[in-house]
Amino acid sequence: AEACRWPEWIAATGMRMELLPAVVRPGSVTARLTAAAAGLFGLPRDVVVVAGTTDGCASFLATGAVAAGDGVTALGSSLTIKILSDRPIFAPRYGIYSHRLGDAWLAGGASNTGGKVLAQHFSLARIIELSAAIDPATETGLDYYPLGSPGERFPIADPALQPRLLPRPQSDADHLKAMLEGIAAIEALGYRRLAELGAPPLTSVRSVGGGAANAAWTAIRQRKLGVEFRPALSDEAAAGTARLALKGASEAGLL
């Protein structure tokens, strides 16, 4: 990605490299529609083709995050974080990777913690009920690392890492709270790890995924991260792809 060329290992597989398209930066205007394609899809002949990106990167753009230090946390079945950086961060020992995005980079990783671990202990209805009884301004004092089974990818890359979910409080609300605190601590560690390796310090967070709607969890995360939480404009990858195309066409002087 840094050199804008296909890696050498692809050629080593016997692939005919001349069949692959040129490597360009996401958002680059690459061509205009052919007459055949325009006719097939009923589009104007002057439509330009812009290089795209991954669904995860497009979802990042959809939130409205645009400045170095902006982070996006996805709270779905797993926990995924990305930060907009002026340089790439690659650290396999921590499960960290980067995607090029225009002249910048998205650095981050995905943890095995997240909603699927919560779902092993509580139904969605029970999570909603218990969350209403949680005081997010206080700490349980428990040091959980919620995993559904041994093994972690990021911010600790250890296939043998054991879940830490004991001691079990008598109160279900405290048990859930300790798990939410643990996931928030993993999120905070992830952003700290990125900064230690050269990414910009985290300045703001936008949240997407089902967990973003949990007010108690959001308050716990705000306390752990200590930065401004901003609303996501959208969490649809299609919206991010449209923003990328708009930026690319504008930079090419087509708008």
Average pLDDT over residues 128-145: 97
Question: What are the structural domains, with CATH classification, of the chain?
Answer: 8-53+239-251 (no CATH), 64-234 (3.30.420.40)
- pLDDT tens for 59-118 read 999 999 999 999 999 999 999 999 999 999 999 999 999 999 878 999 999 999 999 999
Question: How would residue 2 be classed by pLDDT, with cut points 50, 70 and 90?
Answer: confident
Q: Are 206 and 65 in contact (CB under 8 A)?
A: yes
pLDDT > 70 fraction of the chain, expressed in percent and rounded: 100
Between CA 88 and CA 108 the distance in angstroms is 10
What is the C-alpha radius of gyration for the chain, rounded to an integer number of angstroms? Answer: 21
